[in-house]
């Protein structure tokens, strides 16, 4: 029969360790970082916080409703503009100036400048620049002047079609004073122009 001595018991006794005992989990009142926040509470508590990941809304780049060389979409206007650009110019200038003068007066001024100097296209280019400023169209004065110098009929036809797309009645004899009340009040600013083409699915 083996008997253990006190010294043996001291050797075999488990040594105390410095490791702390695992603490019991105490429920916390604060939400953990991994828990999903309540969307309704977050929206109420942080109303001014920007939404992350959503790009800001931007206005589309302004463009003409039709291209410069789409003259053949309106053959009657093209024929009139080719043989008598003063008529188309007079109609455009009357609408841009909101009926300050008649189409006939504008046409007569254009014809006089064209007859005396041959630079009627500079007068029509001035109204193209004025039109781009009113309707927030691509506004590069040098380009607009060159367009009228190089291809006056195409430029006038494009401006004519732009006014039509904005709701103007551009028929001869109608004039500014016979336009609809909406057009006379807004000047075509609130009328959305036609967008060429589009995305097809």
Q: What is the pLDDT of residue 200?
A: 46
Q: Is the dihedral of CA 28, 29, 33, 35 positive or negative?
A: positive
How does the average pLDDT of the chain come out, rounded? 78
Residue 5 located in a structural domain? no
In a domain, 194, yes or no: no
What is the total residue count of the chain? Answer: 201
37 domain residue, yes or no: no
- 134 CB neighbour count, 10 Å cutoff: 14
> Residue 14 domain-assigned?
no
Confidence check: pLDDT of 21 > 90: no
Using alpha carbons, select from 128, 50, 52 the residue that is nearest to residue 96.
128
d(CA 130, CA 136): 10
The domain of 123 spans 75-186
Number of domains in the chain: 1
Q: pLDDT grade, residue 199 (50/70/90)?
A: very low
Q: Considering the domain boundaries, does residue 20 fall inside one?
A: no
The reply to whether 122 falls in a domain is yes
Q: Judge contact between 177 and 102, C-beta under 8 A.
A: no
Cα(138)–Cα(128) distance, rounded to whole angstroms? Answer: 11
Does 112 reside within a domain?
yes
How much is the pLDDT for 127? Answer: 97
pLDDT of residue 187: 87
Report yes or no on 28 lying in a domain: no
What is residue 82's predicted lDDT score, i.e. its pLDDT? 95
pLDDT in tens, 28-84: 555 554 444 454 454 445 556 655 554 555 556 678 999 999 999 999 999 999 999
pLDDT tens digit sequence for 103-128: 999 999 999 999 999 999 999 999 99
Which pLDDT score, from 0 to 100, does residue 43 have? 47
- What gap in Å lies between CA 131 and CA 104, rounded to an integer? 20
Between 30-44, 68-82, 87-101, 165-179, the lowest mean confidence (pLDDT) is in: 30-44
What is the rounded CA–CA span in Å between residue 186 and residue 112?
Answer: 32
């Amino acid at each position: 029969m083996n008997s253990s001595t006190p010294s043996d018991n001291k050797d075999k006794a488990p040594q105390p360790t410095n490791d702390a005992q695992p603490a019991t989990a105490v429920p916390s009142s604060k939400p953990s970082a991994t828990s999903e926040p309540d969307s309704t509470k977050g929206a109420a508590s942080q109303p001014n916080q920007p939404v992350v990941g959503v790009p800001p809304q931007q206005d589309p780049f302004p463009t003409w409703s039709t291209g410069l060389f789409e003259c053949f979409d309106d053959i009657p206007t093209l024929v009139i503009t080719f043989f008598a650009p003063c008529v188309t110019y007079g109609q455009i200038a009357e609408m841009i100036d909101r009926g300050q003068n008649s189409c006939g007066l504008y046409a007569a001024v254009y014809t006089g400048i064209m007859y005396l100097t041959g630079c009627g296209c500079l007068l029509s280019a001035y109204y193209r620049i004025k039109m781009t400023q009113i309707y927030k169209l691509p506004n590069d004065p040098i380009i607009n002047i060159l367009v009228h110098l190089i291809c006056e009929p195409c430029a006038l036809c494009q401006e004519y079609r732009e006014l039509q797309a904005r709701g103007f009645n551009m028929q001869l004899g109608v004039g500014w004073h016979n336009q609809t009340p909406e057009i006379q009040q807004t000047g075509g600013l609130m009328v959305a122009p036609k967008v060429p083409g589009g995305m097809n699915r």
